Amino acid sequence: MGLNSIKKATFSIALLALLAAGCGATSQKVIDETALGYRNIPLTQEKDVAPPPVEFIKAAPGEAKIFERSYENAPPMIPHSVDGLLPITKNNNSCLGCHLPSVAKSVGATPMSKTHFKDFFASTKEELQKFKGASKIHQEKDDIAPQRFNCSQCHAPQANVDPLVANRFKPEFRNDALKSRSNLLDKLNEGIE
């Protein structure tokens, strides 16, 4: 047995010993499955757990305090009760009765953003027409874009709820007016052009 063979054997034994020591080591702290979630119960008992109660704003339109936006150009929260207004269907959207720009000022409501009247998917629809036949393309300036028709897909009712996780996010607004208004249409291509 030569010197190289002895070196190889010694190296192999040392490597195997190191590998065995690494595989045999166990973590000092074992985390129980009940500590993995926010509710601190085993996942097998999930069916017996109710979510924390949520108290939605019950004020009538125009009577509630409006929450500041979460970040610049964030969709605003709904500051009034939505009882009787939801669900929104293809044939019924009660929000439009107050929030269409032509009506909003006269009833003291916040008008829908101009972005809601821009159809950003028109070219996609034109391509889809080739395969599905004719469909209505919203080109009229007074008509809401179809992607914006269901208000509750972006806007949620305000609620008094304690968060499960602390929120450390601190929004930065370019000016104070953007805490309650949107300039998204003006800034839509920011960083692209």
Q: E-assigned strands of 43-181?
A: 55-56, 159-160
For the beta carbon of residue 187, count every other beta carbon within 10 angstroms.
13
Q: Which one, of 145, 161, 174, 171, lies nearest residue 51 by Cα?
A: 161
DSSP β-bridge partners for residue 89: 92
Query: Are the beta carbons of 64 and 158 closer than 8 angstroms?
Result: yes
What torsion do the CA atoms of 175, 142, 126, 92 make, to the nearest 10 degrees?
A: 100
Residue 68 buriedness (CB in 10 A; 0-12 / 13-18 / 19+): middle
The span from the CA of 133 to the CA of 112, in Å, is 31
The span from the CA of 24 to the CA of 36, in Å, is 25
For the beta carbon of residue 144, count every other beta carbon within 10 angstroms.
20
Reading the chain (193 residues) residue by residue, the pLDDT tens digits are 577 788 887 888 888 877 777 676 665 778 776 666 666 677 677 777 777 788 888 988 888 888 889 999 999 999 999 999 999 999 999 999 999 999 999 999 999 988 898 877 766 666 666 655 544 444 445 688 888 999 999 999 988 888 878 889 999 999 999 998 888 888 877 776 6
pTM of the model: 0.66
Helix residue spans in the chain (DSSP H): 3-24, 96-99, 101-107, 122-132, 184-187
- Domains of the chain (ranges plus CATH)? 57-193 (1.10.1130.10)
